[in-house]
Structure 1
Amino acid sequence: MSYDEKGKGGAAGPGQDQDKLNTELINIIQFSEKVATALCRKMDRAEVLGAVEKEFTGSGKYTGSVLLLAEDRDNLEIAVSSVSSSDKKGFLEKMTGNSLSKYKISLDKSKIYGKVVREAQTLHVKVSDIIDELYPGPIAKLISVTLGYEKEVTILTPIWVRGSVGGVFAMTAPVLAELAVPSVKNLAAYISFALESASQRVEQEKADAEIRKLSAAVEQSIDGIAICDMECALTYVNNAFAGIHGYSPDEMIGMKATDIYSEEQTKNAAGRGGLNELQRCWGEETTHYRKDKTTFTALMSFTLLKDKNGNPIGHLAVIRDITERKTMEEELKKAQKLESLGILAGGIAHNFNNILTVVVGNISLAKMNMRAGEEAYETLSTAEKACLRARGLTQQLLTFSKGDSTIAEPIDIAVLIRDSAVSALNGSGVKCDFSIPDDLYSVSADKGQISQAINNLVINAEQAMPEGGTVRITAENVELGQGHGLPISSGKYVKTTVKDQGEGIPKENLAKIFDPFFTTRPKGSGLGLSVAFAIVKKHGGHISAESALGDGAAFHVYLPAM
């Protein structure tokens, strides 16, 4: 019968000595306190169940079992059971055909366990009554008689997990009066608390591990990640976000996000109702300010953060510095444009060269029928020289379009740079300053063509300084890794820089300086830089230029090292 139905404080049975019952009750209370003490600070479920088994097995008097609901909540699984002797345990497992750890009790089959779990009752019953429910008559009788269960009683009480019954605690002894029920219920409460605390601790550890994993992912991300509140004050930035902007993370906390936005981005946000009205945007290219007030191009995604009630609480921004990517795209576009122009220029130059050959040939024939000094002879000589100059231009166009055939050989690039520069500046009022290390890599290239490319760059620098000045030429060994931003392969290169002290190149002209026939100088042909670009490209290298008005221009030549 249910203890709760009969009421608390049930009397001793007939013939039971009250003093013995009181002594037994005290023993149970003391034993319960001992088990409760053993359960303190157990870290996980296995430790809790292990402590229960250890204490009951060590008692030599009581048997304790913890049965927990299976996932289907229709069966109980024996989580731990301390049978007083290994012989009993072996006999039970032999009769059931299963180890105790794998044995399941159906709540539909057992009315006793069903009441404890489904009605949350605490029951004081004979062990043999439970055996009768679980096994066929002859087997049940054999188990009860053999193991002495006919003389033993057990108290079954619910184990509570998060407000609902999650299992059953069973305590068995030869003498276990109903007076012990409150103590057994208290012990079940200790076990419930220990199991729930262990479960919460494991869940918390898992949650903490997930948080650490996410935190590490965010902190180690190559993309900048930041969170700001509804007032646009930054409340969190990862290392990448701070590094991209030239700050430390601590420096950025509390800053206004608008402090790093360009005017263009602020206007765009205002045009869409303000930053707080933006729900989400992806892949928006924008410009941000660094700490030193320089700018960079960023690819930015933007999300409005909301609390569990749907109220906006801030913004999440993810950005990536795409300056190098944009530079590479521009260089690739430039190279493709020059390649297209080269095909066009090559076709024109080839046809024009054929025409010039006929013209020069006929002029030579006409001069053969004249004497030197005659007016017509001199006129034809002037025309012949003009045609030869035109042929020189067509040859440069052909070099730009497809280049002459190269004869690659190992060359001392340091010597070649010096000789080409000195030759180009011979007789001019411009000086040359060299900074070339002794351990410069060797280069496999066509000596004549590379000399022409360097010559053209130096002449361009000299023409940028009509009043005189100094051309500074530096060379160095460099190794380009992944993401270097240039349209050439990664690897080792010799980088040569030719810098002048001229007025510089306007920004709008910088993208066109390698176009054939583009020039801003009255006497320039507009082919020198184009030819240099074509030669270097044919050798697997690249030329880039940078300039600022009033600070001259610098051309960087990259040639693959051997």
Structure 2
Amino acid sequence: MASNMAQDDLEASPSFPEPTDDRLQTQNLALKLELEELRSYREQQDKGIALYHVITENIADLIAVIDGSGKRIWNNRAYLDTLGYNPEELVQTNSFSEIHPDDRLLVENVFKESLETGLGRKIEYRMRHKNGHWVPLESKATVVRNDAGSVDCIVLVARDISDRKRMEEELQQAQKMESVASISGKVADDFNDLVTAMLGKINMARQLVKTTTPEAKFLAEAAEVGDKAHRLILELLSLSTHNVKATAAVDLHQLLPQCVERGVPPGSMGRSELVMPEGRILVQGSAQVIGSAIDQLLRNAVESMDKRGLIRVDLSLERVDRGGALLKAGLYAVIRIRDQGQGIREEHMKHIFEPYFSTKPGHQGLGLSSALAAASEHGGTVRVYSNFATGTEAVVYLPATLADEGTRQVARSTNRVLNRKRILVMDDERFVREFVVALLDQLGYEAVATKDGDELVEEFRASVRIKKPYNAVITDLLVPDGMGGESIPEKLRKFDPGVKIIVTSGFSNHPALLRYRDYGFDGALSKPFRAETLKESLEALVGGAASS
């Protein structure tokens, strides 16, 4: 039946003249041109798609495609670089789950508003990094609708605003310090006059009484209280932005050794290491004020370690291109003071520069405030980086006026060590950590210990951020309560692809020790290991303890 219908249709169709050769050539040429045009269009389309992938996978901004229910459809590579999440693992996950609890309601409301109005608005919120810390983001959404007018998806573009937030906080801190300095400077100056007069009267009265009388004892105690009041007034005066009276070229190569010797004197329970480039680095200002600021920071470092451990002081010359709210672009003398103390809790970090804020009983909390004020009045600033339980680094920036740049690093240390390579250790057993750190110290390395994988990753990330990365990592393989060693190589090499990692375990037949390279490690040690074995492994990987 179908064939009959086709035959009828064919017979009913109008007849066309047989095409001539000229018409065939014309039609063939038109068809050829059309095919070439189509091929060119496809090539341009393929190039556009390839270019799109190159842009989206290399752009620093985070790009996400989300469906109407809030589930992720696609994320670009920036999510791995900024937040530590592999784009593949985010597919079909809830886009609100990593938002900070305090910000989640805002983000959800703006999402619903965009679905209803078709318009997105710019908002700021915090998102949890895979390592656990919070990253501030700024984002804006664009609603994409299909031909029927319903929501097809939402395209979200976000960017990391950590640097901007830090600049804003520094600016707010500077404004707060300027206000405090203006008040404290005036009040402290008036009280200083009163205390000076009082101490003068007390000392005159002491000369009029015999030293063995009760009156002499009371006057001596009054003088001691007056001296304490005078020292407190001097700390308040150091907050004043008009306190620099002497301006001259200050040679940091002369000043820093004096500060270190005062802060960590030879024979004390703590140890110091001072590393300076050959030549001279000069700043313009007051040696007394700068020295007092360094003294305060060293005192904080010593107290954080209960007067034990190593304090390392590094001096360098660095060019700052984008210094933030408090630093102009230029050449700076940079002083880094790193301790091995207990660190500062994250919730306390935003208060550390506030006058009278202290977590230590009996302390005034003026050390960091006065150090910041001193650096600020010299055109610089102080920044603090800390990881709770592994230590703190205070970084002082001072504009350099003249410098003799040297290439050779000269180490000066109370225990005669050279500029030592840094090793990060992770083991869940405290006595093992202490043993390995002591062993590394004997071998000439600077060692920091962490108790689990999360703490190790955070400490390593912080060291890369402040440009003081570890030369090698020694990690335990199995940790009962927490992240173990197997996932460490992948996580650390996101921050430093070249880091050397040694795995340790008491299970000598574990595949990760037998075939350690297959697991991403550079070496393996079976517990218990000897000092000679550890020394040989590290020398093979990092070339020994001393840095060139």
Specify the TM-score bucket, using the shorter chain as the normaliser. Answer: 0.5 to 0.7
1:487 correspondence with 2:478: no
Partner of 1:30: 21
Q: Following the alignment from structure 1 to structure 2, what is the Cα–Cα distance between the partners of residues 538 and 518?
A: 21
Q: Does 1:338 align with 2:177?
A: yes
Q: Indicate the SS of the match to 1:282.
A: coil
CA distance in 1, matches of 2:378, 2:91: 50
What is the CA deviation profile of residues 204-237 of structure 1, one whole-angstrom value per residue up to 9, with x for unaligned ones?
8888888777776655644222212345443333
C-alpha distance in 2, partners of 1:261/1:525? 37
Hey, what's the Cα distance between the residues in 1 that align with 2:315 and 2:53? 41
SS in 2 for 1:516: coil
SS in 1 for 2:238: helix
Q: Which residue of 2 aligns with 1:257?
A: 95
Counterpart of 1:408 (choices 248, 257, 260) is 248
Shift of 1:251: 5.7
**Change in 2 beyond 3 A, CA 1:444/1:273:** closer
**Does the CA-based 8 Å contact 1:235-1:253 persist in structure 2?**
yes
Give 1:425's aligned residue.
Answer: 264
Deviation string, structure 1 residues 441-468 (Cα, Å, up to 9, x no partner): 71324333322222211122222344x4
Counterparts of 1:429-440 in structure 2 under 5 Å? 429-434=268-273, 436-439=275-278
Higher mean displacement: 428-437 or 197-206: 197-206
Report the AA paired with residue 289 of structure 2. Q
Superposition deviation, residue 294 in structure 1: 3.6
CA-CA distance at 1:526 after TM superposition: 3.2
Deviations 1:468-503 (A, max 9, x none): 411421415474655565631234434333233444
Q: Report the 3-state secondary structure (helix = DSSP H, G, I; strand = E; otherwise coil) of the residue aligned with 1:288.
A: strand
CA contact (8 A) 1:241 1:319 kept: no
Aligned to 2:304: 464
Q: Aligned pair 1:237/2:75, yes or no? A: yes
Partner of 1:227: 65
- Structure 1 residue aligned with 2:134: 295
1:449 corresponds to: 289
Change in CA separation of 1:288 and 1:522 when aligned onto 2, cut-off 3 Å: closer
1:175-226 alpha-carbon deviations (Å, 9 max, x no partner): xxxxxxxxxxxxxxxxxxx6xx788788888888887777766556442222
**For 2:32, what is the secondary structure of its paired residue?**
coil
Is there any run of 5+ residues in structure 1 with no aligned partner, and where? 1-6, 11-25, 43-193
* 1:55-97 deviation per Cα after TM superposition (whole angstroms, max 9, x unaligned): xxxxxxxxxxxxxxxxxxxxxxxxxxxxxxxxxxxxxxxxxxx
Does the 8 Å CA contact 1:443/1:559 hold for their aligned counterparts? Answer: no
Correspondences of 1:147-296 after superposition (within 5 Å): 221-230=59-68, 232-247=70-85, 249=87, 252=90, 256-258=94-96, 260-264=98-102, 266-268=104-106, 279-296=118-135
Pairing 1:512–2:344 present = no
- SS of the equivalent of 1:405 reads coil
Cα shift at 1:438: 3.5
Aligned to 2:156: 317
> In 1, Cα distance between the equivalents of 2:77 and 2:161?
17
Letter in 2 for 1:425: V
- Once residues 253 and 485 of structure 1 are traced to their aligned partners in structure 2, the CA distance between those partners, rounded to angstroms, is 36
C-alpha distance 345-428 of structure 1, shift in aligned 2 (>3 A): farther
| Pair 1:441–1:525, CA change in 2 (3 A) | same
- Distance (Å, rounded) in 2 between the aligned partners of 1:393 and 1:547: 27
Identity in percent: 24
Which residue of structure 2 aligns with residue 155 of structure 1?
A: none
Choose from 193, 197, 214 the match for 1:354: 193
The amino acid that maps onto 1:539 is H
Paired letter, 1:41: K
Secondary structure in structure 1 of the residue aligned to 2:326? coil
Q: What residue in structure 1 maps to residue 393 of structure 2?
A: 554
RMSD, aligned α-carbons: 4.0
Q: Would the alpha carbon gap of residues 364 and 251 (structure 1) be closer, same or farther in structure 2, given more than 3 Å must change? A: closer
Q: How many residues align?
A: 385
Answering whether residue 41 of structure 2 is matched by residue 41 of structure 1, we say no
Return the alpha-carbon distance in structure 2 between the equivalents of residues 214 and 477 of structure 1: 43
Could you tell me whether the CA contact under 8 Å between 1:440 and 1:494 is conserved in 2?
no
Q: Distance in 2 between matches of 1:285 and 1:532?
A: 32
- The more displaced of 199-208 and 446-455 is 199-208
Distance 1:260 1:420, change over 3 A: same
Displacement after TM superposition at 1:340 (Å): 0.9
Structure 2 distance, partners of 1:373, 1:387, is 21
- Are 1:500 and 1:554, in contact at CA under 8 Å, matched by a contact in 2? yes
Structure 1 position 319, deviation (Å): 0.6
**Is this contact kept in 1: 2:318–2:334, CA < 8 A?**
no
Tell me which residue corresponds to 1:176: none
Question: Offset at 1:439?
Answer: 4.7
Q: Specify the code of the residue in structure 1 equivalent to 2:365.
A: G
1:223-271 per-position Cα deviation (integer Å, ceiling 9, x unaligned): 2222123454433333434432234555655555345444455555556
Whole-angstrom distance in 2 between the partners of 1:545 and 1:475: 15
Using the TM superposition, give the Cα deviation of residue 315 of structure 1 relative to its aligned residue in structure 2, in angstroms: 1.6
TM-score by length of 1: 0.58
Deviations 1:96-118 (A, max 9, x none): xxxxxxxxxxxxxxxxxxxxxxx
1:479 touches 1:490 (CA, 8 Å); kept in 2? no
- SS, match of residue 319 in structure 1: strand
Distance in 1 between the 2:129 and 2:363 partners? 40
1:328 to 167, 179, 183: 167
Gaps (5+ residues) in structure 2? 1-13, 404-548
Q: CA deviation at 1:420?
A: 1.2
TM-score, reference length from structure 2: 0.59
Aligned mates of 2:16, 2:231 — CA distance in 1: 121
Structure 2 letter corresponding to 1:244: T
- Gap change, CA 1:38 and 1:316, over 3 Å in 2: closer
Quote the Cα distance in structure 1 between the aligned partners of 2:93 and 2:279. Answer: 47
| Structure with the higher fraction of residues in helix conformation | 1
CA contact (8 A) 1:503 1:549 kept: yes
SS at match of 2:352: coil
Q: Secondary structure at the match of 2:247?
A: coil
Distance apart, 1:374 and its partner CA: 4.4
